[in-house]
């Protein structure tokens, strides 16, 4: 009996190349939850490549002290460059991100843009930084996940993978969730409740039990707006209150919810 050659696997919808000195950091992260399922299903594919495998010498040293002096060690450019080039020689060009606290801030808009690219490379720094020639020669973008300094780019890469992967249609069990988010750009999410109806003396806002979908939607927009005003005035400054929202605030569905201590 002649056996037919099996067809090539379908292309992943998101293809991620991680360049990291600590590939094991991602072990459980890539196995768990919806991302793990998406990887099992071949919808998301992640390869990990260690620059140390490309380092020369008996000790395979990947770092060195900074020119000009100063604390800490800097990742040498050769093993990182060799890792990037080996990955792309084997699997093709990717949109390359270098993770660094001195990069452009990662946000939902960048997550959406990266999701549409399909093939990404996340280069993780360690130590005090990466020789600047890696950014100059290879990075399409330098990206930071926030104004704090991590010990390396691995956790930042995990954040980016999770935020991007959940925008791939078949990853997030419920696509409506992302559609909802896109309508509320520049506003924090409204609060949500589930069963039981009473928990440790706290109930659930009555409107949510009313079955009146139009009123629920209105109430949620107001909650979202008020929460943004209190917690993230910077967002409100960048995305000013619209005419619609002004009407909502003025005519307002009254806030009947008692403020919890963290909101007072
Ligand atoms: N590496 C260290 N800190 C980082 C940050 N905040 N974002 C991205 N990469 C980093």
Q: Tens digit of pLDDT for each residue in 3-12?
A: 677 776 678 8
Residue nearest to atom 6 of ligand 1 (CA): 101
Share of the chain above pLDDT 90, in %: 82
Residue that the structure tokens 């909650």 belong to: 223
Q: Is 153 in the pocket of ligand 1 (CB under 6 A)?
A: yes
Spatial separation of the C-alpha atoms in residues 43 and 15, rounded to whole Å: 9
Spatial separation of the C-alpha atoms in residues 63 and 76, rounded to whole Å: 5
Q: Is 20 in the pocket of ligand 1 (CB under 6 A)?
A: no
Q: What is the pLDDT of residue 11?
A: 83
Q: Is 125 in the pocket of ligand 1 (CB under 6 A)?
A: yes
Residue nearest to atom 9 of ligand 1 (CA): 100
Q: What is the pLDDT of residue 168?
A: 93
CA of 160 to the centre of ligand 1 (A): 11
CA of 148 to the centre of ligand 1 (A): 7
Q: What is the pLDDT of residue 170?
A: 83
Q: What is the pLDDT of residue 130?
A: 97
Q: Is 145 in the pocket of ligand 1 (CB under 6 A)?
A: yes
Residue nearest to atom 2 of ligand 1 (CA): 150
Q: How far is CA 71 from the centre of its chain?
A: 30
CA of 127 to the centre of ligand 1 (A): 11
For residue 196, say if its preceding peptide bond is cis, omega within 30 degrees of 0: yes
Spatial separation of the C-alpha atoms in residues 107 and 101, rounded to whole Å: 14
Nearest by Cα to 26 from 145, 118, 128, 159 = 159
Q: Is 186 in the pocket of ligand 1 (CB under 6 A)?
A: no
Nearest by Cα to 21 from 47, 46, 48, 52 = 52
Residue nearest to atom 7 of ligand 1 (CA): 144
pLDDT < 70: residue spans in the chain: 1-3, 8-9, 173-184, 252-258, 264
Q: What is the pLDDT of residue 5?
A: 76
Contact yes or no for 204/193 (Cβ under 8 A): yes
Q: What is the pLDDT of residue 177?
A: 62
pLDDT tens-digit map of 135-154? 999 999 999 999 999 999 99
Residues in Cβ contact with 110 at an 8 Å cutoff, skipping those fewer than 6 apart: 104, 143
Spatial separation of the C-alpha atoms in residues 234 and 88, rounded to whole Å: 40
Q: What is the pLDDT of residue 171?
A: 81
| Average pLDDT value over all residues in the chain | 92
CA of 134 to the centre of ligand 1 (A): 16
Spatial separation of the C-alpha atoms in residues 76 and 72, rounded to whole Å: 13
Residue 99 Cα: closest atom of ligand 1: 9
Q: What is the pLDDT of residue 212?
A: 97
pLDDT tens-digit map of 206-243? 999 999 999 999 999 999 999 999 999 999 999 999 99
């Amino acid at each position: 009996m002649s056996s037919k050659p099996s067809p090539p696997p379908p292309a992943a919808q998101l293809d991620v190349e991680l360049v990291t000195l600590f590939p094991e950091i991602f072990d459980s992260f890539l196995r768990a939850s919806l991302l793990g399922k998406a990887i099992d299903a071949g919808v998301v594919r992640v390869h990990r490549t260690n620059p140390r495998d490309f380092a020369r010498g008996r000790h395979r040293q990947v770092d060195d002290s900074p020119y000009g002096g100063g604390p800490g060690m800097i990742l040498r450019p050769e093993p990182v460059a060799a890792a990037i080039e080996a990955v792309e020689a084997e699997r093709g060009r990717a949109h390359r991100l270098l993770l660094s606290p001195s990069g452009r801030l990662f946000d939902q808009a960048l997550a959406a843009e990266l999701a549409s690219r399909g093939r990404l490379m996340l280069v993780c720094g360690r130590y005090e930084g990466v020789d600047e020639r890696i950014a100059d020669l290879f990075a399409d973008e330098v990206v930071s996940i926030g104004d704090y300094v991590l010990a390396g780019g691995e956790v930042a890469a995990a954040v980016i993978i999770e935020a991007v992967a959940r925008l791939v249609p078949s990853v997030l069990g419920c696509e409506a969730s992302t559609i909802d988010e896109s309508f509320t750009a520049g506003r924090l999410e409204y609060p949500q409740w589930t069963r039981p109806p009473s928990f440790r003396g706290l109930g659930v806002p009555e409107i949510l039990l009313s079955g009146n979908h139009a009123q629920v939607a209105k109430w949620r927009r107001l909650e979202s707006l008020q929460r943004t005003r209190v917690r993230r005035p910077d967002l409100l400054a960048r995305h000013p209150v619209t005419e619609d929202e002004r009407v909502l605030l003025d005519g307002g569905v009254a806030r009947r919810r008692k403020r919890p201590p963290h909101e007072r």
